[in-house]
Structure 1
């Protein structure tokens, strides 16, 4: 089979969610490791008074693209930003942009989604389900489309203990739910949300499961693959270790703990931390598109793995996912592709990765210099000593209370025994006198 870079040779790629965490890593890796790719079209909505081009320019100036900038100084010429709103009919594209995309796109990566766990059901359905339906309908018009990659989540079916590499039918038909939500007011939607999502912990996992079903039901003749990463964390190796740019998931946990804000949290010692580095997910995603494109068949790539959740539900439970397709995909790759598009986490040194992750949150999220590490360590040592002192004082107080209560219990016992003895003595004396 052709290598992965050969597969992307001369291809036009469409990426949604390119300004998000995974989307921008996908864009960087695609351009850097597949330099022969022709054009990367990214759909971006105007935001905070910025047009799509300005938002993309700001994104490309971040540290993530430093390595790409050094290796391919002209990489920006391959990126075309188009104004779009995925929840709108025909994605809110202009007529010229629609004609351009339908005539040239070879591969679609659908990464756009809301990842907020507390999103209202109506908004989550719009962003995760309606947007997916709109994109699928548009993809049906693409004359040269070879592969449609939909990025889901390993927790889409977290209401099940064992999760197969299949799409499970939802309890409610997505189209009927979308129609019903259009006329419901916010209060009514809030009232029925808990009943609808059932055993799932939030609207995010519920709507991502809905989106998978929509992909299956409405893909038509499209060659589709679904990628299910677990909790996506900082980079393992690429473009450099520990890169992260958000507070989501474990990042917020590491920052809060590192700053001494978070001292305790509820979790289960037996629950598995399903954390996966972002570059592993992106390498696997690009490999999945390669495999699906070469074999021309629908593949469902079920991503499991790793991580800690700030949400109690995920830190207190464990799941089992199959990885047969992952192993199969890896076995199909030649040694060079396995090296360039490495997603074998068995090679990952977790202690080193977690250290880089923590350093990444400090450097890239908080924008703090690593030169401040000695002071930060002293601060943490100080907080630790305060905690130890507090715990010691607490133990001493509990011990004193216990001793005091024990002494009181002994006094009461002695009083009761003495009273009984006196009573028995009086009883014997009374009996003797009567006798």
Structure 2
């Protein structure tokens, strides 16, 4: 087969969700590693008074595109911003734009979705399911389409323990659900949501599962592939290690831990943290489209033979076997949440964040009561006292609001930090084996090579540099501040012990007797070990 850059040469590509985290990385990698691509059309809506073209131009000023700007100064000339809103009829595309896309597009990457896990069901269906349905309908009009690649999530079927690379049928008929949601009011939908999503933790995973099945049912003769990434984190290598631009997912939790705000979290130390670097996901995505597109002529023969079994109307609705890729790390290079906690804390102790609230230290527990106790003692009480000090000095209180937002994020992640899954990755392995040596280097997604300690340090430093915009020149001051916090902690603990002694122990004969017994036992224990060590010597 042709190489991946050769396949994309002269092609017109359409990307949805290009202003999102994964969409940006996809656009940058496609332009940089496949310079022969003819044009990239991106569907962008008006937002906060900014036109699509202005939003794209603003996005190109991001640090992510620095390397691309250096290597290809005129890359922006190939980007075509198309005004579109995926939630509106016909994607809010003008007739001219519809005709243009139908005439020229060769490859579609559908990345757009809501990433808010607890979105109301109606909104999640609108963004994750109905928008996908409209994109599939648009794809059917494209005269030269070779591949339609749909980005899903590995957790779409998280109600299963073993997740294979197949499309599973959803628990409800998606067409009936769509029809029902049209006339139901918000209160009724909200009341029905827990029963509908069943064992799934939120509307995000539920609607992504429905979207997968919809794509399978309505793709007809389209050449389709589905990518299922797990928890997408900072970049591994490209365009440079540790790039991240948002607080979503684990990034916000890492920052909160580094700031000393997060002290406890409900999670299992032994649960697999299925983090996957964003560049590994994007490399898999580009390679999957290349493989499906390169194989289209061979596969079209079998599609034609299979179609003979169905009438014309049945052909477009029949269940179809399409390639699904579980883009995960848990079954290939497992890494656990206890290890994540260790590397995050150790990194931020060596390279502290500026103006930390407390020294980094996080306790993971699966016990709900213990977690609630530490939340009250380590989160809410210090936040309340801090805000009280701010009020007394005439400043705006803010810590309780921060803690509230943090707890919401933690509740969303609890399900994923407390469970483990077994993923099948046969298609990912097959895809890797189909690639040539040069493509394997340029589009590397072999996560067996991932060094977790190095990756986690780069990830944490990426949040410091790219999310919080903290320069390395500020590290000496941050370390000095962290030492100051340590001294304050030791002083506070000493004062607390003295206070307890004076108030509770020194005034009670029984308390003093207990205290002396405990101290004498400690001395005997130490003396025993000292004597044992001396005899051994």
Q: What is the TM-score when the length of structure 2 is the normalising length?
A: 0.72
C-alpha distance in structure 2 between counterparts of 1:388 and 1:36, whole Å: 61
- Paired with 1:201 and 1:393, the residues of 2 have a C-alpha distance of 45
Tell me the equivalent position of 2:183: 183
Q: Report SS of the residue matched to 1:243.
A: coil
In the alignment, what sits opposite 2:79? Answer: 79
Structure 1 residues 153, 380: CA separation in 2 closer, same or farther (over 3 Å shift)? farther
8 A contact 1:260–1:383 mirrored in 2? no
Q: Secondary structure at the match of 1:134?
A: helix
2: CA distance between counterparts of 1:168 and 1:405? 67
Give the paired residue count: 408
Q: Which residue of 1 aligns with 2:211?
A: 211
Query: Match of 1:305?
Result: 329
User: Partner of 1:376 in structure 2?
Assistant: 478
Separation in structure 1 between the aligned mates of residue 486 and residue 214 of structure 2, nearest angstrom: 50
Whether the 8 Å CA contact 1:109–1:148 is kept in 2: the answer is: yes
- Offset of residue 68 of structure 1: 0.3
| 1:4 counterpart residue number | 4
Match of 1:140, SS state, is: helix
Contact 2:83 2:93 (C-alpha < 8 Å) held by counterparts: yes
What SS is found at the alignment partner of 1:265? Answer: strand
- In the TM superposition, what is the alpha-carbon distance from 1:370 to its structure 2 partner? 2.1
Shift of 1:405: 11
Partner residue, 2:148? 148
Q: Is the 8 A contact 2:276 2:327 kept in 1?
A: no
Note if contact 1:260-1:380 (Cα within 8 Å) is conserved in structure 2. no
1:395–1:302 Cα change, 3 Å: farther
Pair 1:314 & 2:416 matched: yes
Which one is further off, 191-200 or 392-401?
392-401
Shift of 1:89: 2.1
1:367 to 469, 480, 492: 469
**Is the aligned partner of 1:59 residue 2:59?**
yes
Structure 2, gaps ≥5 residues long: 300-321, 338-408, 518-537
Q: Distance in 2 between matches of 1:241 and 1:91?
A: 36
Q: Match for residue 423 of structure 1? A: none
Q: Is the 8 A contact 2:110 2:150 kept in 1?
A: yes
Cα distance in 2 for residues equivalent to 1:2 and 1:272: 37
SS in 2 for 1:99: helix
After superposition, where does 1:408-423 map in structure 2 within 5 Å? none
1:320-373 deviation per Cα after TM superposition (whole angstroms, max 9, x unaligned)? 100111111111111100000011112222112111111111111112212212
Confirm or deny that 1:250 pairs with 2:352. Answer: no
Q: Distance in 1 between matches of 2:323 and 2:263?
A: 43
Closer/same/farther in 2, CA of residues 342 and 189 from structure 1, 3 Å limit: same
**Equivalent residue in structure 1 for 2:449, among 331, 340, 347:** 347
- Structure 1 or 2, whichever has the larger Rg, is 1
The DSSP-based 3-state class of the residue aligned with 1:40 is strand
Match of 2:533 in 1: none
Q: Is 2:128 the partner of 1:128?
A: yes
- Pick which of 323-332 and 367-376 moved more: 367-376
- Contact residue 231 and residue 249 of structure 1 kept, 8 A: yes
Show the counterpart of 2:68: 68
**1: distance between equivalents of 2:175 and 2:496?**
58
Partner of 1:167: 167
Which stretches of structure 1, 4 residues or more, deviate above 6 A after TM superposition? 388-401
Which residue of 330, 336, 351 corresponds with 2:438? 336
Q: 1:121 to 1:73 in 2, by over 3 A?
A: same
Q: SS of 1:41's equivalent? A: strand
Question: What secondary structure sits across from 2:149 in the alignment?
Answer: strand
Within 2, Cα distance between the matches of 1:389 and 1:305?
44
Q: CA deviation at 1:386?
A: 5.4
Contact 2:128 2:211 in 1 (8 A): yes
- 1:377 CA displacement: 3.1
Output the CA distance in 1 between the equivalents of 2:157 and 2:283: 23
Pick one of 346, 349, 356 that aligns with 2:458.
Answer: 356
Give the superposition deviation at 1:378: 3.5
1:4-38 C-alpha deviation (Å, 9 max, x unpaired): 00110100000000000000100000000000000
CA distance in 1, matches of 2:202, 2:489: 34
Q: RMSD of the alignment, in Å?
A: 2.3
Q: Is it true that 1:45 corresponds to 2:45 in the alignment?
A: yes
TM normalised by structure 1 equals 0.89
Offset, 1:312: 0.7
Structure 1 runs not aligned, ≥5 long: 411-435
Query: Which range moved further: 262-271 or 21-30?
Result: 262-271
Residues 13 and 108 in structure 1, CA contact (< 8 A), matched pair in contact too: yes
